[in-house]
Structure 1
Amino acid sequence: MEQATLHIIGTPAEVLLDPLALPSWNEAFLSIDGPETPVAGQRYQLRVRPGLAGWLEYTAISPTRIDITWQVPGFHESGVWQIDQSRVTHSFEHTGPLAAVLRRAYRGIAAVRLQRLSVEVGARLAVAAQ
């Protein structure tokens, strides 16, 4: 299990609940296809680097917690985003043979994802302020 926490000023839930924009700040995702508004249980078509196809699903959506799971052949991630005002904690767990091979590459990625989320939240705030 990987976990990190970061204080993010703005509305991180708004960014996390914009599934079609996830590839703009999560470099692992090449594309996501499906409805603009997520609903728990709705699956999205997903393509990840280096071109593997799979699916992504929001498994829980609340004001303080967003759970997202995704899978490609040999790799499954269950992730949680907990939001407590400006404090955001991201944790995830991987399973599958490809996950075992990539284990070292994912060290520190929870913190990287939080930093990228923070940048995206800031960019949206700047656009809204114009």
Structure 2
Amino acid sequence: MEQATDTIPASQAAIRHVLLDALALPEWNEAFLSIDGPADAQANTRYDLRVRPGLTGELQYTVIEPDRIEITWQVPGFREVGTWTIAADGQVTHAFEQTGPLATVLRPAYRNIATIRLARLANRIRQFAHTS
């Protein structure tokens, strides 16, 4: 399991808003090419997912709590369970575990990706702060 923690200068609500905007995840997660499904995220709702290099699968929010969001996504040979824990002070911890034969092959490419995802989340929140 890989894990990283960072403080994001934003409210818990702002952080949750970005994480729960499933249809916009491809705008800040480079692995995702497209996500199709309902605009309002609900636990256990399935989204159609297309990832680089064009594999198709599904994504779903498996836990949606005030301080914790868990997202599971999978394509043939690869499954990831990722958790985002959001403290009231803006401290966010992202942890994930990947399984499957494709995950084994890709493991070196995912080194430090929890830290990178936290930085992308912070950038996405900054973009919203400047446009609203």
Q: TM-score, normalised by structure 2?
A: 0.96
- Matched to 2:103, the amino acid is A
Distance apart, 1:9 and its partner CA: 1.4
**Counterpart position of 1:17:** 20
Distance apart, 1:23 and its partner CA: 0.2
- Matched to 2:9, the amino acid is I
**Counterpart position of 2:127:** 123
Aligned residues: CA RMSD: 0.5
CA distance in 2, matches of 1:4, 1:37: 27
Pick aligned residue for 2:116 from 89, 97, 112: 112
Distance apart, 1:29 and its partner CA: 0.2
- Matched to 2:7, the amino acid is H
Instruction: Please give the secondary structure, in 2, of the residue aligned with 1:67.
Output: strand
Q: TM-score, normalised by structure 1?
A: 0.97
- Matched to 1:14, the amino acid is H
**Counterpart position of 2:3:** 3
1:101 aligns with 2:105: yes
1:35 aligns with 2:38: yes
- Matched to 1:6, the amino acid is D
Q: How does 1:36-75 map to 2 (within 5 A)?
A: 36-75=39-78
Stretches of 4+ aligned residues off by more than 6 angstroms = none
CA distance in 2, matches of 1:63, 1:24: 23
Aligned length: 128
Instruction: Please give the secondary structure, in 1, of the residue aligned with 2:84.
Output: strand
CA distance in 2, matches of 1:27, 1:9: 23
5+ long unaligned stretches in structure 2: none
**Residue deviations 1:72-107 (CA, integer Å, cap 9, x gap):** 000000000000020000000000000000111101
**Percent identity among equivalent residues?**
60
